[in-house]
């Protein structure tokens, strides 16, 4: 009979001290480069997504378009056209963590502001309007054509959500992201030429392909995080990677719009060429540093490999294409609760981002669209708070708190805290402008709790099938991104405070409902889509982990039936009974 192995708290501290040289923020480690490159990918591809949104005002000759539509009687923004309104909302969908700044949204805001300004209370003091710079390009595209150009990109992203999961499993996350980035680089570099030489419909096709290329990024990102980071670093990895979303917004607000004034290359094409060159750099860095598995990285040290995988063996191991148990996954309340939280965040974030300038202008009687700092402030807050949330969550896991508990608490803070902030916004009008701005920033900041919440759950609950779980969550996020702008637009026809109170009530209901669902059914630990599995460990394997046994059990989905002071581990062998509890898993989804 093999002897059981007792591991005390003191032994755990020794192992954790031994693993300090492999900490995440050690520059020679490979995985911090992976996280930084993921952030760069989200940022640069976000810029390539939004550059057309920012440049469209400079590209199109608005005077010629207005005269053309006046003659034909096809004014796109007519309030009597339900088709036009539906198309506007469709254009704004699927823009998680991204501001769409277009000619259409600008006209809509100005139009609504003119209607609502007459009812502004005399006690409200309007901030000075610094005005907008006007641009007139050389392209004569109707507003309808512009809308379909924008919609083509997001339609491509929607089209590839589920197929992207298969591509990720079949060819590997690294190659799929690389292919998508190459498509976006080529599309961005060719946009000026195609716009002028071919026309709007050719650009629609190019933008559709670019949307397909970017639609695979988020599921593949989740796969790489699941493979490259141990349990107590996953939240931080997600925060660092997704910081690229906020960086792309901030860069777009401060720099992209100003490129219209650059005299080089006629101004607006500069944005497409510059972002395309950024994409070339991303592709080179991605090709050099990013691998699907830690065992595939030639320059990874034995210490880091053991820290991530629990063993130094398996170098050169090839990726295995998993067979996804869709029936079990789709019947799992854990997966559904995670997907609903994803939907909730997208519903609130997209609705807030899309209509934030309209809310500032019509309800708070402010014009923040001319002030880059105030417009970007909610996203700067979100960038800072997501890193803080993730760092605290991973610190709590290292201190011995259960990963499941940490994940649920963070998700609860995001859902409940966000609901409280939106509840407060129901009582602020133009007499309380700055209070409104503060609570908008607080709401966006508190929603960062979703990073160590359901976002971390995506990369933990089924490590072997992360791409499928991520794609399923992304699908529901996309549905929410379609529904949110449409619903808010239908409610805020006059954009007065009473209408926005209805909007905030809907957001509160969505946040609280999905938050409770995640508390009841969500999880921050691994579930295995197979029958009973028995795992064994030897003393040599434990010494190689370089981290605590709780973290190893978390990553493998094992449940430790132990007391707080000691952790008895033993092999569970059919022909060799043991008097000690073994590490086993009977989890099913």
Count of structural domains, the chain: 2
SS3 532: coil
State the helix-helix crossing angle for 269-289 and 30-59, rounded to 10 degrees.
160
Domain C-terminal end among 474, 490, 521:
521
Q: Are residues 501 and 539 in the same domain?
A: no
Contact 397, 231 (CB under 8 A): yes
Q: How does the average pLDDT of the chain come out, rounded?
A: 72
Same domain for 52 and 163?
yes
For 535-565, b/e burial (b = at least 16 CB within 10 A) is bebeeeebebbbbbbbbbbbbbbbebebeee
How many Å apart are CA 160 and CA 482, to the nearest integer? 16
pLDDT in tens, 272-313: 888 899 999 999 989 888 888 887 777 777 777 777 776 555
- CA–CA separation, 90 vs 80, rounded Å? 17
Structural tokens at position 366: 């402010």
| Last residue within a domain, chosen from 521, 542, 561 | 521
Comparing 45 with 8, which gets the higher pLDDT?
45
The answer as to whether 12 is a domain residue is no
Q: Name the DSSP class of 8.
A: E
Q: Are residues 209 and 275 in the same domain?
A: yes
Indicate whether 310 belongs to any domain: no
374 in the same domain as 484: yes
CA distances from 97 to 42, 100, 130, 247, 374 (A): 11, 10, 26, 10, 16
**In this predicted model, which residue has the larger pLDDT, 498 or 319?**
498
Rounded to whole angstroms, how far apart are CA atoms 407 and 201?
Answer: 46
Same-domain check for residues 502 and 478: yes
Asked whether residue 50 falls in the same domain as residue 148, the answer is yes
The rounded radius of gyration (Å) of the Cα atoms in the chain is 26
Residue 458 lies in a domain: yes
With a cut of 50, say whether residue 144 has pLDDT above it. Answer: yes
Confidence of residue 63 (pLDDT cuts 50, 70, 90): low
As a whole number of angstroms, the distance between CA 312 and CA 301 comes to 9
Share of the chain above pLDDT 90, in %: 15
Please write the tens of the pLDDT for every residue from 489-529: 888 877 788 888 899 999 999 999 999 999 999 888 876 55
| Distance (Å, whole) CA 215 – CA 471 | 10
| 3-state secondary structure at position 573 | strand
Domain endpoint, select from 521, 546, 566? 521
Task: Give me the pLDDT at residue 426, please.
Answer: 87
Residues 170 and 79 in one domain: yes
- Asked if residue 279 and residue 366 are part of one domain, the reply reads yes
Residues 264 and 198 in one domain: yes
Give the per-residue pLDDT at 479: 85
Give the tens place of pLDDT for each residue, 340-389: 999 999 899 888 877 777 777 777 777 655 555 676 788 888 889 988 99
Within this chain, do residues 478 and 553 fall inside the same structural domain, yes or no? no
Please tell me the predicted confidence (pLDDT) of residue 281: 93
CA 331 – CA 335 distance, rounded (Å): 8
Residues 449, 405: one domain?
yes
Largest CA distance in the chain: 92
Which pLDDT score is estimated for 344?
93
Backbone angles phi, psi at 495, to 5 degrees: 55, 50
Query: 544: domain range?
Result: 528-585
Token readout for 316 is 């050169």
The more confident residue out of 100 and 231 is 231
Residue 130 in any domain: the answer is no
Q: What are the DSSP calls for 20-72, one per residue?
A: GGG-TT-TT-HHHHHHHHHHHHHHHHHHHHHHHHHHHHHHB-HHHHHHHHHHH
Q: Would the pTM of this model clear 0.75, i.e. be above it?
A: no
Exposure string over 224-244, b if 16+ CB within 10 A, otherwise e: bbbbbbbbbbbbbbbbbbbbb
Q: Cα(106)–Cα(99) distance, rounded to whole angstroms? A: 12
Q: Is 133 within a domain?
A: no
Contacting residues for 83 by C-beta, under 8 A, at least 6 apart: none
Q: According to the model, what pLDDT value does residue 573 have?
A: 34
| Residue that is written with structure tokens 């961005």 in the block | 188
> What's the CATH number where 490 sits?
1.20.1250.20
CA angle 105, 345, 443 (to 5 degrees): 80
**Same domain membership, residue 572 and residue 429:** no
Q: What is the mean pLDDT of residues 98-108?
A: 39
Is residue 128 a part of any domain in this protein? Answer: no
Top pLDDT among 579 and 331 is at 331
More confident residue, 104 or 73: 73
Flag whether 7 is in a domain.
no
Does any domain span residue 312? no
Q: Is the dihedral of CA 155, 161, 162, 168 positive or negative?
A: positive
């Amino acid at each position: 009979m093999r002897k059981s192995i007792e591991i005390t708290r003191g032994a755990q501290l020794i192992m954790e001290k031994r693993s300090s040289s492999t900490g995440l923020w050690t520059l020679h480690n490979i995985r911090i480069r992976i996280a930084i490159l993921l952030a760069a990918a989200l940022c640069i591809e976000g810029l390539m997504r939004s550059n057309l949104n920012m440049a469209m005002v400079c590209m199109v000759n608005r005077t010629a378009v207005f005269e053309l539509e006046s003659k034909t009687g096809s004014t796109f923004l007519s309030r009597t056209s339900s088709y036009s309104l539906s198309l506007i909302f469709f254009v704004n969908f699927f823009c998680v963590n991204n501001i769409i700044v277009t000619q259409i949204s600008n006209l809509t805001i100005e139009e609504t502001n003119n209607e609502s300004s007459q009812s502004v209370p005399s006690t409200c003091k309007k901030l000075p309007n610094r005005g907008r710079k006007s641009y007139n390009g050389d392209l004569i595209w109707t507003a309808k054509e512009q809308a379909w150009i924008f919609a083509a990109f997001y339609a491509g992203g929607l089209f590839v959500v589920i197929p992207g999961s298969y591509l990720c499993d079949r060819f590997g996350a690294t190659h799929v992201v690389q292919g998508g980035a190459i498509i976006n680089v080529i599309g961005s570099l060719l946009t000026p030429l195609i716009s002028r030489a071919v026309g709007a419909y050719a650009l629609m096709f190019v933008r559709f392909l670019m949307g397909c290329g970017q639609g695979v990024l988020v599921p593949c990102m989740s796969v790489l995080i699941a493979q490259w980071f141990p349990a107590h670093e996953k939240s931080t990895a997600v925060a660092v990677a997704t910081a690229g979303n906020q960086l792309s917004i901030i860069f777009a607000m401060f720099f992209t719009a100003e490129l219209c004034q650059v005299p080089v290359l006629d101004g607006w094409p500069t944005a497409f060429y510059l972002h395309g060159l950024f994409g070339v750099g991303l592709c080179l860095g991605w090709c050099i540093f990013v691998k699907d598995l830690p065992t595939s990285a030639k320059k990874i040290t034995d210490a880091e490999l053991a820290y991530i995988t629990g063993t130094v063996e398996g170098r050169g191991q090839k990726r295995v294409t998993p067979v996804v148990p869709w029936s079990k996954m789709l019947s799992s309340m854990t997966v559904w609760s995670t997907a609903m939280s994803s939907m909730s965040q997208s519903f609130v974030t997209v609705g807030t981002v899309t209509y934030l300038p309209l809310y500032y202008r019509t309800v708070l009687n402010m014009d923040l669209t001319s002030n880059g700092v105030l417009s970007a402030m909610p996203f700067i807050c979100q960038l800072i708070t997501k890193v803080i949330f993730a760092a605290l969550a991973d610190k709590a896991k290292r201190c011995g708190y259960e990963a499941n508990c940490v994940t649920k608490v963070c998700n609860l803070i995001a859902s409940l805290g966000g609901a409280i902030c939106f509840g407060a916004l129901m009582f602020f009008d133009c007499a309380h402008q700055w209070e409104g701005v503060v609570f908008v920033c607080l709401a966006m900041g508190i929603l960062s709790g979703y990073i160590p919440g359901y976002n971390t759950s995506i990369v933990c609950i089924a490590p072997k099938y992360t791409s499928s779980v991520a794609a399923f969550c992304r699908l529901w996020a996309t549905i929410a991104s379609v529904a949110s702008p449409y619903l808010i637009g239908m409610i805020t026809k006059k954009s007065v405070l009473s209408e926005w109170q209805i909007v905030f009530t809907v957001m509160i209901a969505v946040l609280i409902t999905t938050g409770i669902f995640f508390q009841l059914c969500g999880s921050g630990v691994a579930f295995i889509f197979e029958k009973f599995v028995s795992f064994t460990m030897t003393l040599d394997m434990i010494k190689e982990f370089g981290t605590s046994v709780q973290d190893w059990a978390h990553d493998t989905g094992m449940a430790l039936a132990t007391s707080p002071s000691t952790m008895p581990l033993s092999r569970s062998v059919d022909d060799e009974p043991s008097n000690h509890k073994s590490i086993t898993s009977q989890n099913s989804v």
